[in-house]
Every structure is written in structure tokens, then in C-alpha cells.
Amino acid sequence: MEEARAYEELRVGFTAAVSHELRTPLARLLALIDSAALPGADRDALLAQAREEVEEMNELVDDVLFLSELESGREVVALGSTPALPVLEQVHDRLADSAERADVSIVLDASPDVVLPLRRRMLYVIVENLAENAIRYAGPGTTLTTRARDGVLEANDDGRGIEGEDLPRLFERFYRGDRARASRGTGLGLAIVKHIVTSAGGEVHATGGPGRGLQVRCTFPAP
């Protein structure tokens, strides 16, 4: 009964959080639609902004569904092993334009023989979320180094860093520090990272501070 009650509280809280996170882009979308109806409105610009809001909501729904799949056991996390370097390179190529716009340089550090004990999709999701987190929040002029070693995956940036009180809550769903609240993002990326890593039997830790960047280290058990 206690487990059932705890699960129900978690479910209700998660549903409320999702509803809250969707309400903000919905409100902005409605405001843009109302603005487009005004005389002399720049409809092309408003349409572009509306598209951004829809894309943000779509990203949130995708993340929620993916997290739900992980928790329901429908996604087998640690089934097989994956060479790390090709995945790092694929994520780097996909995010190259976003990183350039944010003035964030991405450096890869992995030898071709490094293999991590994850399905390829799961490894891709981890690397992508860690990189996107740095691109969104680390600040211009930052260098992000994504490093893979046997049993270890790291994403270390030398950006603006994170406040000490935010660090323990970094992997909570929908949690954002004061600076991050001003940026777009679902607030689920690092929560998904932690869920995948722990589901694979690993651990994830974050260190850093104001002006000292953010360092995220994922460690996995030996095969």
C-alpha cells in the first residue's frame, strides 16, 4: 500500500509538472496568434515565433514519452555495447550549427576502440542531451570536451558554471536554475541522462561552480 501510494503521488506530481511546462509555450503561442490578427502585424515573423513554440512543445512531449518508455521497461538500456567515437561524431555533426550560433566549441576525445555497455540509441541520447545542455546554458566562448574511456563518458565545459545550490538538483525532472529558466529547453534532458545511466547499472555525478564550468561524469560497470 505504501509503494502504491508513493507511486500515485509521483504520477500526480509528474502529470502536474508536465501540464505546467506545456502551459507556458501554449500561452505564448496564443499571444502570437492574437498579435497576428492585429492590423499591420508582421505575420511572417510571428509565424516563425509560433513555429518555435510548437517545436518546443513537441520536444517536451517527445522527452516525456521517452522517459515513460524507460520507466515502463519498454526500452532495454544495456542490451549490447556500442563503439563510442562514431556516436560522438554523429552528435557533433548534428549540433554543429546550434553550437556555432551559441559560440560553443565541441572537442571530442575518444579512441576508436572505446566501447560503452549501452545500446546505440541510448548512448546517442546521453551524448546529445549532455551536449545540448552545454550549448544552451554554458555561455558564449565555452569549450565543451566530450570524452569517452572504457566504462566512462564525460562532458566537461569551461563555461559560466552553476550555482552551488543548483548542483544537487541538476538531474531532477523539470528543474532549472535561475539562469536556465530564461533559456529554452524541456528541463528533462539531464533527468533522462541519469535514468539511462542508472538503468544500465552505472552512476552519474556532476561537479562545478560559478565560473568553473560544469563537469558531468557517467561511469558504467565493467562487462
Choose among 167, 122, 130: nearest CA to 147. 130
> For residues 160 and 183, what is the distance between their CA atoms, to the nearest angstrom?
14
Closest CA to 128 of 86, 77, 94, 167: 94
Please tell me which residue, 181 or 126, carries the higher pLDDT value: 126
| Domain covering 2-72, topology | Helix Hairpins (1.10.287)
Start-end ranges of CATH 1.10.287.130 in the chain?
Answer: 2-72
The whole-number pLDDT of residue 181 equals 43
What is the band of 178 on the pLDDT scale with cuts at 50, 70, 90?
very low
Q: Which of 120, 50, 70 is nearest to 91 (CA)?
A: 120
Query: CA 60 to CA 70: how far, in whole Å?
Result: 15
- For residue 71, give the amino acid letter: E
- Percentage of the chain exceeding pLDDT 70: 74
pTM: 0.68
Residue 1 three-state SS:
coil
pLDDT in tens, 195-214: 889 888 899 999 998 989 99
CB 204 within 8 A of CB 196: no
**CATH fold group of domain 82-219:** Heat Shock Protein 90 (3.30.565)
Parts of the chain belonging to CATH 3.30.565.10: 82-219
